[in-house]
């Protein structure tokens, strides 16, 4: 079968709402244990970034419709999309049911397209391809694909679809909003759906050849590297596929933060930390630091254990959260995250209940 080249397409990603300040009403009911609401954009922004990162890894060019955390009007987002004329735009959102102040049992995945879009048939096909891919990758219940005539679907001059990836008012799906695995899995599954729509071969992250990169390197893999570093808060400048001084400095900072030799060269060990494929292979304890600790903190927080700052440093608050998790799940409460504790953490059933 002949596939199209990913580099022939420009993929736009959009995330609904914002957090700085938070869009009114777009949040969960109060979450127990961590005593706060989770804003819808906390999921939307992260899933969109994973989607765009995966598109870069495949070799697509990307356009981030809303790279900042502030909300942006639909008309401004429509104008931004129409200005760059991407091949397609995919929007990430999270649903709600009821009055928004209490939890209920309504949940699942929905996808939308608009019959008023300039390319309605293609938009419908895109919605189905992404919807099917996310359903295959997750345990979400499928609620179907439907028509929705809103601006980001109807008024953009390109193929457009929107996915509602769960319900904020469903307690279990609310916790998934900040689960790092759920965010990544949905973003990557959406990219796989886009690949199906465009007849581009999807290569899994594990199958990808992560060649050594250094200052002077150029190309799609450099763009992916830059975007992954940017997702973790490192200043890389423009995601332009050129490994220059800013990218080198970001790599050096990342290497220092992860106990790697700070040589600015992205070889196998640095790629391993950037992709963080098997964070549960490493035993963690107080004093540990790096990508695996940050992942641990995010997982525990999504299970409603307050770890304090999610900073990649295993300090006292992370220790208290680990110990509490162990006590509540029949493990030796020694504060050491070894194979048994990792296995329990990776089990989605081991999460604090609604009270």
pLDDT at 109: 98
Q: Where are the domains of the chain?
A: 6-198, 210-275, 281-346
pLDDT at 210: 98
pLDDT at 288: 97
pLDDT at 184: 98
pLDDT at 206: 95
* Structure token pair of residue 57: 């890894």
Q: Phi then psi for 95, rounded to 5 degrees?
A: -90, 175
pLDDT at 36: 97
**Secondary structure class of 104 (helix, strand, coil):** coil
Among 93, 78, 90, 91, smallest CA distance to 154 is for 78
Q: What is the pLDDT along the chain (355 residues), one digit of tens a residue?
A: 799 999 999 999 999 999 989 999 999 999 999 999 999 999 999 999 999 999 999 999 999 999 999 999 999 999 999 999 999 999 999 999 999 999 999 999 999 999 999 999 999 999 999 999 999 999 999 999 999 999 999 999 999 999 999 999 999 999 999 999 999 999 999 999 999 999 999 999 999 999 999 999 999 999 999 999 999 999 999 999 999 999 999 999 999 999 999 999 999 999 999 999 999 999 999 999 999 999 999 999 999 999 999 999 999 999 999 999 999 999 999 999 999 999 999 999 999 999 8
For 108-133, what is each residue's pLDDT tens digit?
Answer: 999 999 999 999 999 999 999 999 99
Domain boundaries 281-346, CATH class: mainly alpha
| Same fold yes or no, 210-275 and 281-346 | yes
- Rounded to an integer, what is the distance from CA 197 to the centroid of its chain? 21
* Structure token pair of residue 146: 């439907």
User: Which CATH number does the domain 6-198 belong to among 2.40.37.10, 3.40.630.40, 3.40.50.2000, 3.30.365.10?
Assistant: 3.40.630.40
Q: If you ran DSSP here, which 8-state letter would residue 136 be given?
A: H
pLDDT at 147: 98
Among 202, 244, 204, smallest CA distance to 223 is for 244
Q: Which pTM does this prediction carry?
A: 0.97
CATH number for the segment(s) 210-275: 1.10.101.10
């Amino acid at each position: 079968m002949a596939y199209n080249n990913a580099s022939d397409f420009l993929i736009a990603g959009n995330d609904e709402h914002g957090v700085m300040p938070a869009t009114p009403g777009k949040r969960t009911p109060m979450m127990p244990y961590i005593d706060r609401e989770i804003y819808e954009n906390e999921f939307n922004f992260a899933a969109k970034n994973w989607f765009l990162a995966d598109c870069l890894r495949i070799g697509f060019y990307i356009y981030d419709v809303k790279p900042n955390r502030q909300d942006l009007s639909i008309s401004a987002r429509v104008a931004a999309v129409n200005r760059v004329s991407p091949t397609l735009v995919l929007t990430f959102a999270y649903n709600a049911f009821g009055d928004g102040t209490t939890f209920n049992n309504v949940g699942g995945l929905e996808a939308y397209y608009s019959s008023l879009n300039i390319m309605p048939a293609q938009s419908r096909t895109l919605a189905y391809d992404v919807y099917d891919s996310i359903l295959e990758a997750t345990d979400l219940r499928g609620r179907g694909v439907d028509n929705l005539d809103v601006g980001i679907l109807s008024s953009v001059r390109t193929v457009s679809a929107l996915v509602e990836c769960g319900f904020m008012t469903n307690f279990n799906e609310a916790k998934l909003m900040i689960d790092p695995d759920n965010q990544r899995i949905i973003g990557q599954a959406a990219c796989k759906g886009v690949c199906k729509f465009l007849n581009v071969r999807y290569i899994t992250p594990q199958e990808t050849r992560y060649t050594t990169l250094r200052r002077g390197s150029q190309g799609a893999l450099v763009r992916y590297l830059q975007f992954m570093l940017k997702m973790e808060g490192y200043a890389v400048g423009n995601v332009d596929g050129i490994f220059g001084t800013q990218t080198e400095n970001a790599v050096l900072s990342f290497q220092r933060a992860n106990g790697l030799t700070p040589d600015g060269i992205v070889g196998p060990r640095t790629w391993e930390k950037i992709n963080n494929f098997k964070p549960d292979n490493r035993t963690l304890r107080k004093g540990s630091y790096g990508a695996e600790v940050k992942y641990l903190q995010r997982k525990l927080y999504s299970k409603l254990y307050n770890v304090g700052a999610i900073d990649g440093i295993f300090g006292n608050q992370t220790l208290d959260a680990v110990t509490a998790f162990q006590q509540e799940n029949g493990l030796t409460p020694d504060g050491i995250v070894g194979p048994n504790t990792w296995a329990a953490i990776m089990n989605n059933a081991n999460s604090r209940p609604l009270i």
